[in-house]
């Protein structure tokens, strides 16, 4: 997980906090959550660690409304995300055949070394129903 980086207390706390969340989170959200748990980590340290971890692809990032959101993904291979616009809950998913289709399409147009990012946004079942439970039903 830490890819030959020195394991520091702030990094461990950040990873623990991200593991607690089911959504993409900003550095400010991570900072606020850690403070609420009585953990002292400076906001600059959080930003620096999140950016470094994202640079090493230890985290997925999502850029929205001028902010960067970070998430530890359960699945280390390429995948996509379905993100709730209200609560930020995120579900990882794959589209069978999509990766091959994009490679072939790019190749037929003379492109190589193509990469992509696909995020879908909607409203999850909990938010749609106004539920407060921690139901993780992925069939929303």
Q: Is 84 annotated as a binding residue?
A: yes
Q: Is 35 annotated as a binding residue?
A: no
What is each CA distance from 135 to 18, 58, 93, 128, in whole angstroms? 19, 27, 18, 13
Q: How many CB atoms lie within 10 A of CB 53?
A: 22
- The torsion of the CA quartet 9, 35, 41, 134, rounded to 10 degrees, works out to 50
Three-state DSSP class for residue 89: strand
Q: Is 73 annotated as a binding residue?
A: no
Query: How would you classify the pairing of strands 80-84 and 119-122?
Result: parallel
Closest CA relative to residue 84, chosen from 101, 97, 74, 71: 71
Residue ranges at the known binding site for Zn(2+): 84, 87, 124, 127
- Residue ranges for the binding site? 78, 84, 87, 99, 116, 124, 127
- List residues forming the annotated binding site for Fe cation: 78, 99, 116
């Amino acid at each position: 997980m830490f890819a030959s980086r020195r394991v520091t207390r702030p990094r461990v706390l950040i990873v623990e906090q991200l593991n607690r969340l089911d959504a993409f989170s900003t550095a400010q959200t991570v900072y606020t959550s850690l403070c609420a748990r009585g953990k002292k980590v400076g906001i600059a340290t959080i930003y620096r660690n999140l950016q470094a971890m994202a640079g090493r692809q230890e985290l997925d990032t999502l850029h929205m409304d001028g902010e960067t959101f970070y998430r530890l993904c359960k699945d280390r291979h390429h995948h996509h995300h379905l993100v709730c616009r209200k609560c930020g809950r995120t579900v990882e998913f794959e589209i069978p055949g999509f990766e091959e289709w994009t490679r072939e399409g790019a190749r037929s147009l003379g492109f190589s070394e193509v990469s992509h990012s696909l995020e879908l946004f909607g409203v999850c079942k909990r938010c749609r129903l106004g539920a407060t439970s921690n139901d993780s039903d992925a069939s929303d």
